[in-house]
Structure 1
């Protein structure tokens, strides 16, 4: 593990607030996966794939994907049951990882620069460990890798819901009791350390995403079942067996950037450094005063770290080609 290198800020595009990138529905293995495309703005750009966290969507990557568009030809997917994708049959880490693998294979763009936030980070670790041929580099933002002290997460208060038969019905009832505006505010407060960094346009977009959830009858069940699958993966990671996310992290061979916020209220702040220690070729960036979605809250800082990773690994690849 080493410290992440930051690309000079003045070499990034000027500040802007782009609208969400255009999306499309793609039928994959019998169900619809929703995909947003962030086209490259320069020749020679390499393919990238962005994977959101629990309760999130492809829209969580709008700013970062735009900042990286001169180097990366980006796609962001909605996982099954989230955003505008249709529900899936299973909501486990392996099931989501298989969907990501299938999308990379279907799109014919692999290997990709793979990005994952929170749940998407855990999914991306599994993809990178089991299918190294599909991953050029790996960037993990507040990855939801296992921790057992749920007092360190606001989501710990959801644990009793998992013990209730048909807990998703209770979750759906609770969702119906809150106005979309109140829910959007709660989500922002849970995920972002400094709300002054979120402009009015992004707040309105977050509200619209909440309204999409309210219209999707499957959303509450998808959320609860995914949370149940995530907790199960945490518990299995401390037992013998090949499915441990920590053992998978140790098997990742792609050059990796790990970004963590010191004010993360959803994932134990100790997880990001532990992830960087577990992945053999890793770089760590810990951000003061930043919460769970650094790519939303401080996208330029995250972009600088990603560009530092790309510069380093690009130079390494060129030296390898010359040596060959």
Structure 2
């Protein structure tokens, strides 16, 4: 993944912390920065999951503002980022977009964070471009799980041809509020913990995304990319690549995760050579949104450990 073409960036305003439009080959990405509370903090990049956006990381990035110079990126087709020019939404395409962004921005090596699909993306980056990764934090990473969780079957169904049309017809007559609630029940251990004001923001963002003409197609194509990545074998399989990761790795799993089974925590702990595990009994699939303070506290300890090891004489 070296020898990438020249890219350029254009900054725009808007959004908490400031949104940047980042142009990489074939894509326009939007990134949100959390201004660090002091100068000289190490860079961090946060990558969301399927159907997510930079908003998924706002609470955790705010908690870590004393620890890292954080930035979250919208993958191609998600959040504020439009679909790529070539419509390629495979796992490798998402990986290329993030690598291009890191190479162009000169931010690497970074503390790299990934949730769900973003966990698969960042695992592959850490395996193939270790020069870009100082540490890796994976929250419910979408690594191959066979058989999958029962509640994860809808992700597989999304990958089927014509799925976008089926979903579009099935959602007629339902409100954006009820559709958002269904999604929250899938992703959160306890959606009742979400404050009303934050729930309102989530409904508004769901409505904005649902009204985009490409939103369901992007979901379907990206789901197809995940399924394809799950079936890859040999050196390109995600589990083999996890074994190649040399960066210190923090794994975060929720016992109430309906999409990624806690049973995968043991396999992940064995696969990543330098790993440690955080288990949150009440968390679902998005622990950084459900329990940002708890996750941040463990991340801070983890990054302090990484920094101390880096300062040790050889």
| TM-score, normalization by structure 1 | 0.88
Of the two structures, which has the highest relative contact order with CA contacts closer than 8 Å and spacing of 6 or more? 1
Answer whether contact 1:51 1:79 (CA < 8 A) is retained.
yes
1:130 aligns with 2:104: no
| Aligned counterpart, 1:140 | 138
Match of 1:53 among 49, 55, 63: 49
| Aligned counterpart, 2:152 | 155
SS at match of 1:109: coil
Q: Deviations over 1:19-43 (max 9, x none)?
A: 9543232222243211111011012
| Aligned counterpart, 1:292 | 285
Judging changes above 3 Å, is the alpha-carbon distance between structure 1 residues 20 and 262 closer, same or farther for their aligned structure 2 residues? farther
Answer whether contact 1:44 1:71 (CA < 8 A) is retained.
no
Judging changes above 3 Å, is the alpha-carbon distance between structure 1 residues 181 and 49 closer, same or farther for their aligned structure 2 residues? same
List structure 1 runs of 4+ shifted beyond 4 angstroms: none
Judging changes above 3 Å, is the alpha-carbon distance between structure 1 residues 176 and 33 closer, same or farther for their aligned structure 2 residues? farther
Q: Which moved more, 1:251-260 or 1:199-208?
A: 199-208
Query: In the TM superposition, what is the alpha-carbon distance from 1:153 to its structure 2 partner?
Result: 3.9
| TM-score, normalization by structure 2 | 0.90
Matches of 1:176 and 1:220, distance apart in 2: 14
Matches of 2:261 and 2:194, distance apart in 1: 23
SS at match of 1:283: strand
Answer whether contact 1:252 1:280 (CA < 8 A) is retained.
yes
Judging changes above 3 Å, is the alpha-carbon distance between structure 1 residues 201 and 243 closer, same or farther for their aligned structure 2 residues? same
| Unpaired segments ≥5 residues, structure 1 | 1-18
Matches of 1:79 and 1:153, distance apart in 2: 26
Query: In the TM superposition, what is the alpha-carbon distance from 1:161 to its structure 2 partner?
Result: 5.0
Match of 1:248 among 241, 244, 254: 241
Answer whether contact 1:153 1:267 (CA < 8 A) is retained.
no
| Aligned counterpart, 1:96 | 94
Query: In the TM superposition, what is the alpha-carbon distance from 1:265 to its structure 2 partner?
Result: 0.5
| Aligned counterpart, 1:40 | 36
Matches of 1:292 and 1:231, distance apart in 2: 18
SS at match of 1:64: helix
Matches of 2:211 and 2:154, distance apart in 1: 25
Judging changes above 3 Å, is the alpha-carbon distance between structure 1 residues 196 and 315 closer, same or farther for their aligned structure 2 residues? same
Query: In the TM superposition, what is the alpha-carbon distance from 1:317 to its structure 2 partner?
Result: 1.1
Judging changes above 3 Å, is the alpha-carbon distance between structure 1 residues 177 and 104 closer, same or farther for their aligned structure 2 residues? farther
| Unpaired segments ≥5 residues, structure 2 | 1-14
Query: In the TM superposition, what is the alpha-carbon distance from 1:177 to its structure 2 partner?
Result: 4.4
Count the aligned residue pairs. Answer: 298
Answer whether contact 1:58 1:78 (CA < 8 A) is retained.
yes
Q: Which moved more, 1:116-125 or 1:80-89?
A: 80-89
Q: Deviations over 1:239-295 (max 9, x none)?
A: 3x2210000000001011000001100112212332121000001011111100000
Query: In the TM superposition, what is the alpha-carbon distance from 1:87 to its structure 2 partner?
Result: 0.6
Match of 1:228 among 219, 224, 233: 224
